[in-house]
Amino acid sequence: MTTSLTSTPVPATVSRQRVRARWVLVLLPLVLLAAVVFAVGTGAVHIAPAQVVAILLAPLGVPPLAAYEEQQAAVLHAIRLPRVVLGLLVGAGLAVAGTAMQGLFRNPLADPGLLGISSGASLAAAMSVVLGIHLFGSYTLPVMAFLGSVVATVIIYALAQDRGRMNVATMLLAGIAVNALCGAGTGLMTYLATDEQLRSITFWQLGSLGAATWPTVLSAAPLLLVGVLGLPLLARALNALTLGESSAAHLGIPVTAVKWAVVGLVALSVGAGVAVAGAIGFVGLVVPHLMRLLTGPNHATLLPASALAGATLLVLADLLARTIVMPSELPIGIVTALLGAPFFLYLLRQGRKGERL
Amino acid sequence: MHKSLKTTLALSLALSLFPAASAAQVKGADGVSVNVTNPKRVVALNGTTVELIYRLGKQGTIVGTDVTGTYPANKIPSVGHWAQLPAEGIISLKPDLVIGTADNFATPKNTTLVQQLRAAGVKVLVLPATDMGGLDGVKTRLNLLSQVYGVPSAASGLSKSFDTTLAAVKANRPKVAPKVIFLYAHSPSDATIYGTEGGANELIELAGGKNIAPFKDTKALTAEALVAMNPDAIIMLNRGLDSVGGMEGVLKMPGVAQTNAGKNKRIYTVDNSIRWIGPRLPEFALQLAREWKKDFGR
């Protein structure tokens, strides 16, 4: 895994990789589109493909191709579509943030959790449940989770300051410390929680897209899109950073500004995602690896490819989560971890084999 | 809370005096009225709602419930844990009415559930919370359900039988209230105490005991606190007693053997569903009152 980042491949591999990267960028949107169509058409409430098309085209004044019931239309519009759209955005946000973090830290194990984003959000969410904070009505939990992630990130930022510059190594250590602190705080909250509150916290930490309504999607979408569209703009700088900070600086990259921008954008997109969908693990860690295997280490293709693959993965994971145990449903965090962890171990074995050769 | 419950109770009693028309307009605890005509497919969230519907003889209408809806029959399809319910899963059961309770819908996830269900055109009736209001709360919920099904006489009959049992409970209470704690155990090393709120507390008070937990919510059990409180009696759930390894296991739990309850083996068990106050509360209370009267005499 690391070899692909640091080694300088021979020209032949580079051109082969470029061709492959181009193919990936053509195919991934199609795969995503297929996943979305499949996810929109599948669920506990049966809606046939023709009915899906008819319902979606109805507002445009197209005469229905297939007869459908009003409730099917309502389920599609009010429950399933916002859910799929939210999964798409959150998946893209988590994956692109993970890719950017791995690039910034030059470490394939870096994921947004390192910045304290998830643990800060968990602590704030647990506090809002246990202490009964109702500042923002029914949006209290997501807003608190977002604030928690931003506060944790800002603290780590501040700790990583070294004479006006941001030290990436210190940031890693500060992240570990703040994570531990937030973990202890969340532990304290679960200790104080009543039985009912404990269930809420547990289910929030496992993640779910089930609470998706259009207002939640719209509240998170701008922040997620800023990350998903903003981080690829930093691709050239991230590529330069793989050579090391001083080399990047010599190439004319404003290193400090880039680091701040990456961390800020990651915090925004992941914080917003965690706020609306809970803590969903493994997407930010596994997707960048997979895409790096397919497209090579160039961030200009890696970042958009990760966004597309992350979106596809989460849409499909959510489809599994809500259909395997119908009419009940699984928390999506369980699905992503069950899919992600074995796959991650597989990659790990493959990577070690490569080293031996 | 209590006052509004009483008004709801009075209101629903007044409404139930009128003979049920085919269509009833029932106002839920969230202030939203639901128009129902003899529902055929009902998703009843929360075990006590299922129990009440059984008591009204309308169990045939239940097509789905949550994990708590296992009594008296556990064959109803479950849509999952009550703290995280899936909107689409519920709708897929094609309900003409979803009945939940306010505590059921209080978790962050489930507040959007109600919006989602209503947005999809599914009628949702929110009953008052199941962990408050004691037996009056049960009667309120029973009356609302009897309006839904148009069977007011069944509800008033049941309410009367509750009162009869309750009178028997009062006659059978111990003269001096034993000091009681309610121990909610998952394993010998993981147990909490139920505070002075909710079903466990209602049961203790009805049966003539004194709940000596010095807090409202649930708190983790510490051996020293237990010894300091020195309860005369300990109540556990049936599955809680099983999880610690029966009576022998309880007495080995830290602190238990040093209390009066432990020394005299005064450990009592109740049904697993007690924290949700349901129609069996008077029966549970009667049984417990009798046991206490026998064990604590006078």
Predicted pLDDT at A356: 44
CA triplet A102, A103, A105: central angle to 5 degrees?
A: 65
CA B21/CA A260 separation, integer angstroms: 68
ipTM of the complex: 0.73
Q: Give A210's contacts in chain B (Cβ within 8 Å).
A: 84, 86-87, 109, 113
Is B86 within 8 Å of A44 when comparing Cβ atoms? yes
Q: Give A327's contacts in chain B (Cβ within 8 Å).
A: 64, 77, 79-80, 86, 88-90, 92-93
Instruction: Note the pLDDT tens digit of each residue in A30-62.
Output: 999 999 999 999 998 989 888 888 898 888 887
User: Could you tell me the pTM of the whole model?
Assistant: 0.81
Mean pLDDT of chain B: 88
* A339-355 mean pLDDT: 73
Q: Give B217's contacts in chain A (Cβ within 8 Å).
A: 194
Predicted pLDDT at A298: 93
Residue with tokens 């501040």: A158
Q: Pick from A75, A195, A331: which is nearest to B88 by CB?
A: A75
List residues of A whose CB lies inside 8 A of any B CB.
Answer: 43-46, 70-71, 74-75, 78-80, 129, 138, 140-141, 191, 194-196, 199-200, 203-204, 208, 210-211, 213, 216, 322, 325-329, 331
CA B9/CA A307 separation, integer angstroms: 55
Residue with tokens 């171990």: A345
Q: Give A328's contacts in chain B (Cβ within 8 Å).
A: 78-81, 86, 89
CA A107/CA A285 separation, integer angstroms: 11
Read off the amino acid at residue A159: L
Write the DSSP symbol of residue A232.
Answer: G
Helix axis angle, A168-192 to A140-159, nearest 10°: 140
Is B192 within 8 Å of A195 when comparing Cβ atoms? yes
Q: Give B103's contacts in chain A (Cβ within 8 Å).
A: 196
Q: B75 CB contacts (<8 Å, ≥6 apart)?
A: none
Q: Identify which of B295, B281, B287, B240 has the alpha carbon closest to the alpha carbon of residue B133.
A: B281
CA atoms within 13 A on the CB side of A45: 29
The alpha-helical segments, DSSP class H, found in A193-254 are 195-206, 214-230, 235-241, 245-250
Helix (H, G, I), strand (E, B) or coil at A315: helix
Predicted pLDDT at A63: 79
Residue with tokens 């997407």: A283
Q: Pick from A45, A71, A327: which is nearest to B64 by CB?
A: A327
Q: Is the pLDDT of residue A14 over 60?
A: yes
CB atoms within 10 A of CB B183: 24
Q: Binning pLDDT at 50, 70 and 90, where does residue A2 land? A: very low
Contact between residue B86 and residue A327 where contact means Cβ atoms under 8 Å apart: yes
CA triplet B101, B104, B109: central angle to 5 degrees?
A: 135
Is B121 within 8 Å of A141 when comparing Cβ atoms? no
Q: Is B237 left (phi over 0), alpha (psi -120 to 50) or beta?
A: beta
List residues of B whose CB lies inside 8 A of any A CB.
Answer: 64, 77-81, 83-84, 86-93, 103, 106-109, 111-113, 115-116, 119-122, 184, 192, 217-218, 220, 275
Nearest Cα residue in chain B from A206:
B84
Instruction: Note the pLDDT tens digit of each residue in A119-173.
Output: 999 999 999 988 888 788 777 888 899 999 989 988 988 888 777 777 888 888 8
CA B169/CA B206 separation, integer angstroms: 7
CA A233/CA A245 separation, integer angstroms: 18
CA A235/CA A237 separation, integer angstroms: 5
